[in-house]
Amino acid sequence: MIKRTISHLSLVTVVTLGLAACATSKSVDRKISESQTRSDQKIETVAGQVEELQTKTQLMDRRIEELGRSAAEALQRAEEAGVLAKGKVSFQQTFSEDRVKFRTDSYDLSKEAKTALDDLATRVKAVEGSAFLEIQGHTDDTGGTRYNDMLGESRADSVRRYLSRQHSIPLGRMSTISYGDTLPLVANKTRSGRMQNRRVVVVVLE
């Protein structure tokens, strides 16, 4: 009788443990599934953020490439002219339409433009040794190619004359070039875009 009772208890114990193990296994499976779902969601979120960052980086790289191209070309022209001692770009300053403003079909400097150029002159004079400046004129694509080339050159000339007359920077240490509408920062499809593209870039070389 005692043996039978013990056997019965043992069976109950085994069944109980089996059920508990089964319940525990289901709980573990559920937690693993929930954890996997959360991990998948995090991976999707991170992937989206990476894709967005890559897009922004590509846009920035294109802009840096465009700006770098004009600076590199300025350096090459200066070296070919034999006007550099060290042969390097000290800094590059872009004056977009929000600071160096021109009226339509005009190359006269506004009051805001003169203030911005005063600040530039201070930076130029702080460069160790004699700096060489290439002043680049850019336009939007509103006019024809020939007109935009002439307008870009006229605006660059206005900057050169102002820096010479008001800040005594020698004319021989400055040159001008017009890129016209060939090197836009952004698309010319909107008024804001065209405004950004109407700009003057000053590359300061040592």
Integer Cα distance of 202 and 176 in angstroms:
9
What is the pLDDT confidence band of residue 63, given thresholds at 50, 70 and 90?
very low
DSSP 143: S
**Average pLDDT of every residue of the chain:** 74
Integer Cα distance of 113 and 95 in angstroms:
8
Q: Which domains does the chain have, with CATH numbers?
A: 53-205 (3.30.1330.60)
**Over residues 46-55, mean pLDDT:** 62
Residue position matching structure tokens 């590199």: 72
What pLDDT shows up at residue 47? 66
Integer Cα distance of 138 and 42 in angstroms:
45
What is the pLDDT confidence band of residue 65, given thresholds at 50, 70 and 90?
low
**Over residues 50-79, mean pLDDT:** 61
Residue position matching structure tokens 């007359």: 165
DSSP 172: G
Q: Percentage of the chain with pLDDT > 90? A: 18
Ranking 42-46, 106-110, 176-180, 192-196 by mean pLDDT, the lowest is 42-46
Integer Cα distance of 83 and 172 in angstroms:
9
Strand segments (E) across the chain: 89-95, 132-138, 174-180, 199-205
What pLDDT shows up at residue 12? 47
Handedness of CA 35, 38, 43, 44 (dihedral sign): positive
Most distant pair of Cα atoms in the chain: their distance:
121
Among 1-5, 39-43, 100-104, the range of highest mean pLDDT: 39-43
Residue 206 has pLDDT above 50, yes or no: yes
Residue position matching structure tokens 């600076």: 71
Integer Cα distance of 144 and 155 in angstroms:
16
What pLDDT shows up at residue 71? 74
Residue 129 vs residue 166, higher pLDDT: 166
Residue 21 has pLDDT above 60, yes or no: no
Locate 58 and state its tokens. 């590509």
What pLDDT shows up at residue 84? 62
CA 73 to chain centre: 20
At 79-128, the pLDDT tens digits run: 666 666 566 777 777 776 555 656 656 677 888 888 889 999 998 888 86
